[in-house]
Amino acid sequence: MFNIEPAAMWEDEPVPERWTRERRLEHTRGLLLDAAEEVFARKGLTGAALEDIADAAGYTRGAIYSHFGTKEELFLAVTDRQRQRFLDSFTEIIRSFHRLSDLDLDELADRWGEASRDPHRAALNYELTLFLLRNPKARDRLAAQRSETIRSLAEFIAKNVARLGASLTMPAEMLARVILAVNDGVTLGSHLDGADLYRPYLQLVVSTIVPADDPT
């Protein structure tokens, strides 16, 4: 005799979710990016082989070609995702302060360090810098994206400095350029030398923010 469960006992059973084609593609792309990030960080752009990335992701090399085309395109996608993660962390940290007096350097350095402390991420960005220096065509292709990143970051800084009742001692765009250029060096210097450089770095950054009525 078969034991048939009452229908009510199945009411709370989760219904298997049907993945759309777009979601499956997004999932595959995410796994490939995760694997590529790890392999590029360990071996660099030149040393990383597509076979290693495909094996780490559990896919074939054909999947990489299908989603990204070339190793260089995959690398650029990895570094673009890293850039967005940094900007998201930066945004979250700055928005958590409501007054200029809230900017406690020790707390700010701790939180910034947590968001930026991964030397692999910093190494990837240095790989990107070298790649762009050596490949003028790629540099030209990404010029608009880089300019937009600086513009949007400068706009965000200016808006939130004003929200804190403060002003800047240098143009917001220049401060944005400095932050983007220097942050990875601070991360790598802290890692290589075993010295926490986040506080002195942020001390310099914060020194550009003064009360709005400051005559300087």
Q: pLDDT of 160-178, one tens digit each?
A: 999 999 999 999 999 999 9
Select from 74, 35, 26, 70 the least CA-distant residue to 54.
35
Mean pLDDT, the chain, rounded, equals: 86
Looking at residue 216, its pLDDT comes to 53
List Cβ neighbours of 87 (8 Å cut-off, separation of 6 or more): 149, 153
Q: Which SS3 state, helix, strand or coil, does residue 114 take?
A: helix
Q: Which SS3 state, helix, strand or coil, does residue 73 take?
A: helix
pTM, rounded to two decimals: 0.77
Name the β-bridge partners of 167.
Answer: 210
Percent of the chain beyond pLDDT 70? Answer: 91
- Range 79-216 classified under CATH 3.40.50.10090: no
Q: Which SS3 state, helix, strand or coil, does residue 14 take?
A: coil
Six token digits for residue 98: 């409501």
pLDDT digit string (tens) for 22-34?
888 888 999 999 9
Asked, colleague to colleague, whether 20-69 and 79-216 share their fold, the answer is no
Looking at residue 179, its pLDDT comes to 92
20-69 CATH fold: Arc Repressor Mutant, subunit A (1.10.10)
Measure the N-to-C terminal CA separation of the chain; round to a whole number of Å.
89
Phi, psi for residue 166 in degrees, rounded to 5: -135, 180
Q: Which amino acid is at 48?
A: A
pLDDT digit string (tens) for 125-149?
888 888 999 999 999 989 998 999 9
What are the boundaries of each domain within the chain? 20-69, 79-216
